[in-house]
Amino acid sequence: MLSRFAWLLLILSLASLTVSSRSLAQENQIMQTGPSFHGIRDYRQVMAGVLYRGGANNGRAPLREDQLKALCEPGFGTAVYLYRTRFSGPSTIQCSKGSLRYITEGWEGRGRAAVNQQIYDVIQSQDKPIFIHCWNGIHATGAVAATALMQFCNTSPQQAVAYWKVGIARRVQYPSVIRGIESFQREPRA
């Protein structure tokens, strides 16, 4: 008969194998552009069950109500617009799965820290996932997603920059965004 300690080690070993195989599958999935999803461009999973990303595809505007409802139906709890342009303020969208909170946070500095805190809260509580977006789903959204991978998945700065570059034309791979990703410092709590 195995001791409690041996059982714990066995369970942890099996869990790490499961996480490792999921990590490989997720890494292959996150290193490619995403499909359109109800008018949201480049819809991608970043961290399964926790963080997803995309672009508004509305010009320089926040998501429309039909796009927010499309996110609410599969069970998203929060959508975050990473700019303030034409954002009329926080709102709550109702759907058959409950509700979706729509807020704005900046994609740098305190805004990024606020998004990371929300991600951390979802991980801890196993609550509904978060969707982040900017206008096209590449620069701001990609930078926040890349640093979230650094914060919560131990992704290296080089891997995070490679992830950010997926789907971005070489001529608009801005050095300032790359430097921002490379210089990101993990917050100690996560």
Q: How far apart are CA 55 and CA 13, in angstroms?
A: 38
| Judgement on whether residues 5 and 71 belong to the same structural domain of the protein | no
Domain membership flag for residue 131: yes
| Judgement on whether residues 59 and 137 belong to the same structural domain of the protein | yes
| Judgement on whether residues 59 and 115 belong to the same structural domain of the protein | yes
pLDDT (tens digit, 9 = 90+) per residue, 128-145? Answer: 999 999 999 989 999 999
Q: Which domain holds residue 148?
A: 33-182
| Judgement on whether residues 12 and 95 belong to the same structural domain of the protein | no
- Of residues 154 and 9, the one with the higher pLDDT is 154
Assign 190 to helix, strand or coil: coil
| Judgement on whether residues 129 and 42 belong to the same structural domain of the protein | yes
Assign 152 to helix, strand or coil: helix
Domain membership flag for residue 187: no
pLDDT (tens digit, 9 = 90+) per residue, 54-98? Answer: 999 888 899 999 999 999 999 999 999 999 999 998 999 999 999
pLDDT (tens digit, 9 = 90+) per residue, 7-46? Answer: 333 333 333 333 333 343 345 555 677 777 888 999 999 9
Given a contact cutoff of 8 angstroms between Cβ atoms, the answer to whether 104 and 91 are in contact is: no
Q: Is the whole-model pTM more than 0.85?
A: no
Number of domains in the chain: 2
Alpha carbon 98 to chain centroid, angstroms: 21
| Judgement on whether residues 21 and 44 belong to the same structural domain of the protein | no
